[in-house]
Every structure is written in C-alpha cells, then in structure tokens.
Amino acid sequence: MSTVKVTINNIPLEVSSESTIMDAATLAGVDVPRLCFLKGLNETSACRICVVEVEGIRGLKNSCTVKVFENMKVKTNSDKVKQAIRNNLVLLAANHKFECWRCPREQNCEFLHLLRRYNVPNVVGEDLSCEKKKIIINITDSLIIDSSKCVMCGRCIAACEKFAGTSVLNYNKRGFISYVGPAMNHSIDDSGCIYCGKCIQYCPTGALRETDSIDEVLSLLDKEEYYVVAQVAPSVRATLGEEFGYPIGTNVEGKMYRALEKLGFEDLTDTNFAADVTIMEEGTEFIGRLKKRLANDPTVLPMFTSCSPGWIRYIEIYYPEYLPNLSTCKSPQQMQGALIKNYYAAKLNIPKDKIRVVSIMPCIAKKSEAKLPEMEVEGVRDVDYVLTTRELARMIRRSEIDFRGLEELKPKGPMAQYTGAGVIFGATGGVMEAALRTVKEILENKNVDLEAFSALRGVSDGIKEATIDVAGLKVTVAVVNGSANIPEMMKRIKANPDKYAFVEFMACTGGCVNGGGQPIVNAKIMEQIDVRKARAQALYNLDSTTNIRKSHDNPAVKALYQDFLKEPGGHISHQLLHTHYHERTLYEKK
C-alpha cells in the first residue's frame, strides 16, 4: 500500500494514498464537521459542511470524498472555511422548522450541535413569515416523516437501501418543493416499508421518528381504574443506559425496573419470560414438523421464526408464497400480553378488561404489530401501548427521575422470571440458539453442551449456517440478520429446498440490540465502534451468569403449563399464543 505525506492544520502525518482528507484529519485527531457523510453508507458530498481549504487549489473542497496527494496541506479551521460552513448552515436553518424543546432529537441532534458549534444566528428572528411551514408527509402507527426538519442529506435513503433492502425512501419532486418519502406521495404504510427504523437511526435530525405514545401512557398511569403492567424486551436492559451516559453495552436492568416503578407502573414483568414460553411453543412446533418429515408425512420445512415484526411484514409483502413456513407462534411481546390478561390477571384476581399492558421495546415495528386485528383474544387486545427504548428514556427525563442515582430493583412476580435463553433473544442467532438448547435436550434426554451453538453468534456475516447433530440426525439451520440479506437466503432455499430445517430471521442487522427504537448513536461513534457487538455482549454476559440457561427449566414456565396451558402446542396455547399471516399488497392507499 503506497503512502503520501500530508499536513492537516500544521500536523504532519503519513497516510494511505487512498485516504480522503477526512480520513487523514481523523488520524491527525482533527474533527471535521459533517452532516450527510457516513463512511461506507452515504458518501455523496451533499451537505457541503465538511469543506476544507487545500493550499494551491482554488475553492474549498469536500473532505469526505477528495483524496489526499503527496505534500498536500490542508486547513480545516481557517476563517474562510468557518464562514463557508456557517453560510451553509444558515441556508439549511432557514428551511428548518425549529421546535427543539419538543423534538425527540433535542438531546442528540447533529444539526443542532453544528448550529451551536458555529454560532449560527437566528435566521427566522421575529419574522415568522420566514418560517418553513410544518409539513407532515406521512404518519403511521410506527413511523412519522416530517419534511420540515429534513436537511436532504440522503442518509435515510442510503440506510433504507443498504440495511432494509427495500429502497422505499427516495427524493421526490425538485427544487424548493423536493422532499424525501415514498414515490408519488404514497403512504409509507403500503409502499413496502417494513418499519425496521433504520432511517430513524441514521437521520441526523428529527425528520424521522417513531410515533410517540408517551403522553398516552402518562395519562394511563394517572387513571386509577386500570391496573397498568409493564413488560420489557430482552435487549432494552443493554441499551437504555446509553441515554443516561453509560458506556455502550452496559446492563442497567435493575435501574430500569426501579425507574418503571417510580413512573407509576403497578406491576413489572419481563418479556424474557415470554421468550422462554416462545421456545416451548416454537420448539414443540419444530419437533412436530421434523417428525412428520422423517415419517414422510406432509409438512412444511424449513420452519421460519416469527419473533421479528419487521421480518413478518417483509415476508408478507415480498415473499407471501413462504407464509406457510412461518412458525404460528406470536412474538414474545404478544405472548406476554396475552398471558398477562388471560393467566396473570386471574392470579391477581383482577378482571382482564381492567388491565392495561405497556411494552418497552427496541423496535418501532412492535407498535404496528400490537395494533394488528389478529393480536387479541376474545376482543381483548394483547398489548395496549408500545414504547421504544428512546421513549422510555424521554419519559424518565420528563418525570425528572435521577436514573443514575436509582437503587436497583429485581421484580419478584412469576412473569418476571427468565432464563439465559430468554435473554439472548435480543441478539442475532439468540432465538435459534435458545431453541436448539431445548430441542436437542428434549429429543436426546440428556444435558446439552451450551457451547455447541456458538457458531450461530456474531454479526460479521449476514447469513450464518450450522449443521447440528440432534438425536443422531444432522439438522442444518441458518440465521439471517438484516432484511437486505433475506433475498439471498431465499435464493439458497429455492436452490436446495431440502437442505435447511430451521431458519431464524431478524429484520435488523445484529438483531434487536440494533432495533429501530434503540438509542441513537452519533455517526462518528458508529464509525469507531460496532455497537451491535457491544450491546449483544451484555446479553451474552447476562446469559452466562444466569443460574438457569434453558427455557424448559424455567420454574415459572413449568408452573404456567402445569396450572394453565397444560401442554405446549395444546388447545389453550393455540387460542392465546398462536396467530396467522396474510399477504400484503402495495400502493393501494394515497
């Protein structure tokens, strides 16, 4: 690899000849501002915020795309550079709707940070006629696109293409009336969006955000006629702390539950419990299908997992011919809600219509899932409200709770008890690993080596495969993380339909730890740290230190079946814990 000598702000260094000016500045410890740039994702030089001065060359150059050359001398902080950046920010600000006090990105808005850094004046001032009118392009159960806060950086478009693989978002119209959204002003709901939320994670402003349910939940907590129960997804405990200054990958489970108690929830449960129940139901279903295949009876394999609502939307839209392959199990969120109202309520001696279930989830797609018509039992909704990890953090701040100063709390109720297998649902490969721990042990009737499934872990590959010996039978399984990798998996299945027995799908790369409702990570930090690995490690650490690590060994789950469900896959289970799917058509609504 050839190198060149360059100077950045009088700092000499030697870098690869393939480096950009921004790469060289980073190595020199010089921070170059940027708004549209994300290395490996969006390198379009659209915002003109990263401009620098290069000695001997007329005009300012975009540091994100211009490569270095021998003896290049660069200034990133000259008066000329700073004035150009300030001018560009002024133009962007003139077309921006400022309501920072109520914007969910007020704490971590990259645009607002730059305005403060460069001391940009109030371009609107007292003349409200200059203010850009608020235009909501799309509102759905999960996602809101607000064009009045869009800086047209293109990061959401790139994320939708690279990570979701759906390319739903793009530029529409031209000039001053251009905006980002689905083609021809169609509703986001029927344009092929799967609500993975990658667009939100990569947006530098509040132009893309989850549909907020905070006010509704706070109002609910004030109503004495309802018994309000919280459930928290596995991955939330590994990410919530980031909102309060903890390092990425810190497990804050105890403080999280104490905060929920202080917010006014009457009862605290853990979705990990339902994850264990999911393994009992899904594992039984898989064993049943496998036995039918071995007996040459009609069945559908490979079986697909059904925990990720983004994945469910994807298959219903793009591969409806494979709907019979899906496990009929509801997601853990919906199972937990159904069990709270139809099992736990009786234990508490509370009418189920007086119970309200609020889910804390890493995923904006969970909001839409909870509102699906089929997600109810005898007219009673499984889940009433869904909050993302980010919304919970905002609720805690709004309630002026000192999160870092809280004493830890461990809920004692039966639906808060979980195993290590339930915890790792939050990481890619975790559902498959948890299922195989139980399936292999039940079929072989002996303790399994929990390290036998380590090949299913990790985020380096979009698709992982492994062949596991189960009771003398070689079973090939696969794990897919990131919906952009789904078409390749479907190609493999079509090419060799008898190869795979069981496939786990997660819409988000890395699984739920990287869900669209998780804390926003600054673009510069994302270039330095793989947040998916750090967050997932927190879950694996919790799994390794948990006394019980297999779902079928959970005493509370055993009691559930003994006292209520009777058997996995039985009549009551199918009534409460299983569902059905249907094909979704596109572009029916405007």
Q: Which domain holds residue 416?
A: 212-585
Residues 290 and 409 in one domain: yes
Q: Is residue 96 part of a domain?
A: no
Q: Name the domain boundary from 38, 70, 90.
A: 90
B/e letters for 184-217, b = 16+ CB within 10 Å, e = fewer, are eebbbbbbbbbbbbbbbbbbbbbbbbbbbbbeeb
> Which residues in the chain show pLDDT less than 70?
123-137, 589-590
CB 395 within 8 A of CB 218: yes
Q: Is residue 340 part of a domain?
A: yes
Residues 464 and 534 in one domain: yes
Q: Is residue 40 part of a domain?
A: yes
Residues 218 and 248 in one domain: yes
Residues 164 and 277 in one domain: no
Distances (CA, A) of 313 to 98, 99, 297: 34, 33, 30
Q: Is residue 108 part of a domain?
A: no
Q: Is residue 325 part of a domain?
A: yes
User: Domain of 193: which CATH number?
Assistant: 3.30.70.20
Q: Is residue 501 part of a domain?
A: yes
Catalytic residue of the set 110, 210, 316, 369: 369
pLDDT score recorded for residue 507: 97
Residues 168 and 306 in one domain: no
Is residue 307 among the annotated active site residues? yes
Catalytic residue of the set 63, 327, 368, 573: 327
Q: Is residue 121 part of a domain?
A: no
Encoded tokens for 483: 């919906």
pLDDT score recorded for residue 524: 87
Is residue 369 among the annotated active site residues? yes
Residues 200 and 220 in one domain: no
Residues 349 and 378 in one domain: yes
CA distance 550 to 295: 28
**How many distinct structural domains can be found in the chain?**
3
Q: Is residue 528 part of a domain?
A: yes
User: Domain of 424: which CATH number?
Assistant: 3.40.50.1780
pLDDT tens across 441-483, in order?
999 999 998 888 988 998 878 999 999 999 999 999 999 999 9
pLDDT score recorded for residue 45: 87
pLDDT tens across 483-497, in order?
999 999 999 999 999
**Residue whose entry in the numeric block shows the structure tokens 């950086």:** 153
Residues 143 and 81 in one domain: no
Q: Name the domain boundary from 210, 243, 271.
A: 210
Strand partners, 38: 42
Is residue 282 among the annotated active site residues? yes
CB 149 within 8 A of CB 159: no
Residues 375 and 401 in one domain: yes
Q: With pLDDT > 70 as the criterion, what percentage of the chain qualifies?
A: 97
Q: Name the domain boundary from 144, 179, 210.
A: 210
Residues 356 and 269 in one domain: yes
Residues 77 and 148 in one domain: no
Catalytic residue of the set 440, 512, 533, 551: 512
pLDDT score recorded for residue 587: 81
- pTM (2 decimals)? 0.95
pLDDT score recorded for residue 123: 62
pLDDT score recorded for residue 589: 59
Is residue 132 among the annotated active site residues? no
Catalytic residue of the set 53, 161, 281, 285: 285
